[in-house]
Chain A
Amino acid sequence: MRYLADVGTLARKDLLLELRSRDTVPAMLLFVVSTLVVFHFVLPTGSGDLAANGLLWVAVIFTALLGLSRAFVAEREQHVLDGLVLAPSDRSAIWVGKALSVLAFLALAEVCPAGLRPLLRCGPRRDGRRVRTRGHRPGSRRDAAGRYRSREPGAGASAAAPLLAARDPDCDRRGRRRSGRCAGEIPGVPGPLRRDLRGSRLGIVRICRH
């Protein structure tokens, strides 16, 4: 049991040092996030989970190497290694204690990207599928109530309906029945005009999700 107590003491020493100086975990965290950002661009769309998980493990290994290479730097600089070796404990306890502390740093550094991994796959994919979004409509003005006003004063939904029909190609192309949410606004409320996706600056774009 003394062995475990020694290991615990040494691991606790490393964790306390890291808590005070905070130099290893931020470096590992930055490395992991940067690597995952790069990997996101490396992976082609539709490459599936296998490639993503494989690259995640590569990131984990290199982060661990980063943490391990910094493990004994403090001891070497402050010449503590001699004192550690002279301590009345089994020398392997030094190794196990260090390994436990680096494992704790690695866990801390990996918790963040593990939590962020669902984010890495969210959002519109680059294969052209779009997401429903509400952007701002440049070139329009708001009235006193802060509501959008369409460009032609007095243009109601009825006047805009043929325009909407012509300028909402997504719903047309996919053959979806035009519902209120996809193709138009609530009738009677002057609503935003559709924008031609090729760049004319008329109105809010509401791209269909599927």
Chain B
Amino acid sequence: MRVVRLSLPALAALALALMAAALALIAYVAPEDADQGLSQRIFYFHVPIALTAYAFFGLGAWKALRHLWKREPGADLESYVAIHQGVIFGVLTLATGSIWAKISWGHWWTWSSNQLVLFLVLFLFYSAYFMLRFSMEPGPARENASAVYALFGVALIPVSFFAIRLANDFIHPTVFSLDGPQMTGLMFLAFCVSWAALLALASCLYRLELTGKRLDMRLRELREVLG
């Protein structure tokens, strides 16, 4: 299967178009929730952002595996940038989730909710990835240590994801159950478009940051050669 490689401007245009479509759908087309009213629309941001964060942590772990197993040359940097994007989207998940929690539950945060705490733990785990990475000098040792750390973290992702399903405290809403998405077709459409838009946006940011970091590396190499 040949993977189509979009150029960065094309990807950015796609992300822009999808975001505009998503915002239009969320604001005007999606029906209002009978129970939560207007505040339910945070769902269209919060859940895709969380799923994107998981996706990028997974991508970081995949690239880390490629680095350790196949010794792919650029995999370490790609793993680092993917985890960076995951952490950014993790912060956004926590922020949007807290806002939604304040509106619908009356509290910004609840410690007795497994899924919230597990996501926080996952987020702190990957924040510490950067501490690990920058405590070591650039080189093969740093790349290997970062890759191993990223791979350990990936075990937390399914745990965090399924905690929402398995937890019995009935606090965090579960919208996608075994019976399928518990929402009308239009809501599901808005959700899917929003998810696609956020994935496109995150991919765009990922590619942008990767390009920038590669340029930095090239610049540093040239400086060392010349100086």
A positions within 8 Å CB-CB of B: 23, 26-27, 30, 33-34, 37, 40, 119-120, 122-126, 131-142, 144-148, 192, 195, 197, 199, 204-205, 207
A-B contact pairs, 22 of them (CB 8 A): A30-B124, A30-B127, A37-B124, A119-B108, A120-B111, A131-B105, A131-B106, A131-B107, A131-B110, A131-B171, A132-B106, A133-B171, A135-B170, A138-B174, A138-B179, A141-B182, A142-B182, A142-B183, A146-B33, A146-B34, A148-B35, A205-B170
Q: Is B152 an interface residue (CB 8 A)?
A: no
A23 closest partner in B (C-beta)? B134
In the complex, are the beta carbons of A138 and B33 less than 8 A apart?
no
For window 113-148 of B, CB contacts with A under 8 Å fall at 113, 120-121, 124, 127-128, 130-131, 134
Q: Which residues of B contact A146 (CB under 8 A)?
A: 31-34, 184, 187
Q: Which residues of A contact B105 (CB under 8 A)?
A: 123, 131-134
B positions within 8 Å CB-CB of A: 31-36, 104-113, 120-121, 124, 127-128, 130-131, 134, 168, 170-175, 177, 179, 182-184, 187
Give complex CA distance A82, B177 in Å: 66
In the complex, are the beta carbons of B131 and A30 less than 8 A apart?
yes
In the complex, are the beta carbons of A30 and B173 less than 8 A apart?
no
Q: Which residues of B contact A142 (CB under 8 A)?
A: 31, 34, 182-184, 187
In the complex, are the beta carbons of B34 and A148 less than 8 A apart?
yes
Q: How far is the CB of B85 from chain A (nearest CB, A)?
A: 17
Q: Which residues of A contact B108 (CB under 8 A)?
A: 119, 122
In the complex, are the beta carbons of A37 and B110 less than 8 A apart?
no
B110 closest partner in A (C-beta)? A123
Q: How far is the CB of A165 from chain B (nearest CB, A)?
A: 20
In the complex, are the beta carbons of B107 and A197 less than 8 A apart?
no
Q: How far is the CB of A37 from chain B (nearest CB, A)?
A: 7
B32 closest partner in A (C-beta)? A146
Give complex CA distance A133, B31 in Å: 22
Q: How far is the CB of B52 from chain A (nearest CB, A)?
A: 21
A138 closest partner in B (C-beta)? B177
Q: Which residues of B contact A139 (CB under 8 A)?
A: 177, 179, 182
Known contacts A148-B34, A195-B170: A34-B110 contact under CB 8 Å: no
Not counting A139-B179, A142-B184, A148-B35, a sample of 12 additional A-B residue pairs whose C-beta atoms are within 8 angstroms of each other reads A30-B127, A120-B109, A122-B109, A123-B111, A124-B110, A134-B105, A135-B173, A138-B177, A142-B34, A146-B33, A204-B35, A205-B170
